[in-house]
Structure 1
Amino acid sequence: SLADMGETLGENGINMEGLCGFPLNDEALIHILVEEETTARYVLEAAGFQVRAVREVLVIDIGNIVGKPGTGGNLARKLGNAGVNIDLIYFAENNKLVIGVDNLEKATSALK
């Protein structure tokens, strides 16, 4: 369960900085943002969770643009114009926006 996952990480000193989840057939697919991805994977698998992948994502500080209309569209347009596809997006703690993309290098360059 989500509670078990959170407790497992917490008991091992790992903070979930971001979390996104949705149902997938009879399961739940969860993406968590942590700094200690290797340790998180180890403790979750040891507790019986299936970790399907570990991946790098863009983490953008949006503190200075929160509440400005059109900002999200502008960001998505920059990525689209660079030929980058977004496959994951959610907000995380401390005014962070987490974006999963198909080409991290191109995405980083497009947002400079």
Structure 2
Amino acid sequence: MAKDLLVTLEDQPGEGARLGEALGRAGVNIEGLCAIMEGGRGAVHILIDDVEGAKAALASVGIRVDAETDVIVSPALPEPELDTPGVFGGMARALAEAGINISLVYVASRNRVVLATSDNQKATQLLQSMM
């Protein structure tokens, strides 16, 4: 099961390479990634299938995993569907009306949506009923 790992990197050349190369050497594929740099540091979310392998690879180069989050990963969506205006709004509205808060969202490889919510089980059931 895929998980989102949160790491913090310095906002300087080579940090992304250090992360990506460590995972690559360990044979760990990055399924999705979101990085936001602010104030000289960056919060980097990485969607990973091999959590233990990723943690070991990152630790080997001095990168600490700050958080590990269970996420919902949608099936691959056809590009026209994902690129249709309002798709995310509809998903977010349905979750809001069910009282579910979104704490993390980004798009991963193969046009998949990654979500962490206040109730992943309920959110999964709701989103599956929409597809």
- Tell me how large the CA RMSD over aligned residues is: 1.5
- 2:28 corresponds in structure 1 to 14
Query: Which structure is richer in relative contact order (CA contacts within 8 A, separation 6 or more)?
Result: 2
Secondary structure class of the residue paired with 1:23: strand
Secondary structure class of the residue paired with 1:20: strand
- 1:74 corresponds in structure 2 to 90
* Structure 1: distance between partners of 2:41 and 2:86: 35
Gapped regions of structure 2 (runs ≥ 5): 1-14
- 1:63 corresponds in structure 2 to 78
Q: CA deviation at 1:24?
A: 4.2
Gapped regions of structure 1 (runs ≥ 5): none
More strand by share: 2
- 1:109 corresponds in structure 2 to 125
TM-score by structure 2 length?
0.78
Q: Are 1:63 and 1:96, in contact at CA under 8 Å, matched by a contact in 2?
A: no
More helix by share: 2
Structure 1 runs of 4+ aligned residues shifted over 3 Å read none
Residue correspondences, number: 112
Secondary structure class of the residue paired with 1:94: helix
